[in-house]
Amino acid sequence: MDRFKTILNIASKQTNLGFGLVALLTAGGEQIFSSVAFKCPCNELNFLYGLVFLLVPALALLLLGYILSKKMWILFTGLWHNRAKLCYWKNLATTCTAFLQISSTALVAPSSWLAVALLNGNYYECAMTGTNLSVYNQYLCKDMNFELDCGRKLHMLPCDKRNEEVLRTLRSQSQILGWLVITFIMLSSLLIICLARCNSPISYQQLKFWRAYAQEESELMDLYTNKHAKDLAERNLKSFFNQMEPANITTPSNKDWEKIS
């Protein structure tokens, strides 16, 4: 239990390590899923089925990432009551930047799902044998021995393993796409981080300092919040059972809370 906690703690501090862990878990899950649950229907549903397996889990992971994101709720809680503040351009820009930051964190799992699924090739194979584009079908059929009725037999390819050539073609296309996706993710994240850092008004060491500060503050905040809540609860219940006036504990006002959030 303790060891598990330590790993979680390290992962949450070292964001890069945490991202790697999430990506690894997603990749493993995809592998298990692809071998257990995925069975190509081999008829006109092929395209829809392959696409659903390729994209919908990625969407679900993205939404899950938003739901589990702590920063997301720091940003949105009480947004409606402070909507007047959003009218200032600067606040709006800050909110947008924060949202982009959250999105980039939430995108780690979906993009690793996509990359692994494309490298694996099963889903793409199934989806592409179900396309109705005659041009693409002609292109695929030209390697096969039987020309007649290729469009109808294309559906059956993932199920009977006789026409290896077409499957090899599709699988290699899928893997090339997968590598392109990975390169695109790497490149865009490098660019985004680079831009964000170049435009920051402070130096690297100072940024590191502020990050460490923010984390320490958040941890201490949790600690103090819990302690304060405990004190308050104890006071109120004691006064309830002993039927006497409660002692006075100063609690920060609503305005103070807002300011530090």
Query: Which residues 62-101 are close enough to bind its own copies by CB under 8 A?
Result: 63-64, 66-68, 73-74, 76-81
Name residues contacting its own copies, limited to 12-31 (CB under 8 A).
Answer: 16
Contact 34, 54 (CB under 8 A): no
Q: Which residue has the tokens 């679900």?
A: 60
Closest distance between its own copies and the C-beta of residue 21, in Å? 14
Residues in contact with its own copies, shown as a per-residue x/- string from 135 to 164 under the rule CB under 8 A: --------x---------------x-----
**Cβ atoms within 10 A of the Cβ of 223, count?**
10
Angle between helix axes 108-120 and 15-36 (nearest 10 degrees) is 40
Instruction: Return the structure tokens found at 237.
Output: 């219940």
12 vs 172, which CB is nearer to its own copies? Answer: 172
Q: Which of 85, 200, 246, 247 binds its own copies (CB under 8 A)?
A: 200
Name residues contacting its own copies, limited to 166-195 (CB under 8 A).
Answer: 168-169, 171-173, 175-176, 179-180, 182-183, 186-187, 189-190, 193-194
Stretch near its own copies under the rule CB under 8 A, chosen from 22-30, 92-100, 144-152, 253-261: 253-261
CA dist 10 and 1 (Å) reads 14
17 vs 133, which CB is nearer to its own copies? Answer: 17
Contact 182, 114 (CB under 8 A): no
| CB-count burial class (<10 Å; 0-12, 13-18, 19+) for 23 | middle
Contact 47, 130 (CB under 8 A): yes
Stretch near its own copies under the rule CB under 8 A, chosen from 22-30, 92-100, 145-153, 247-255: 247-255
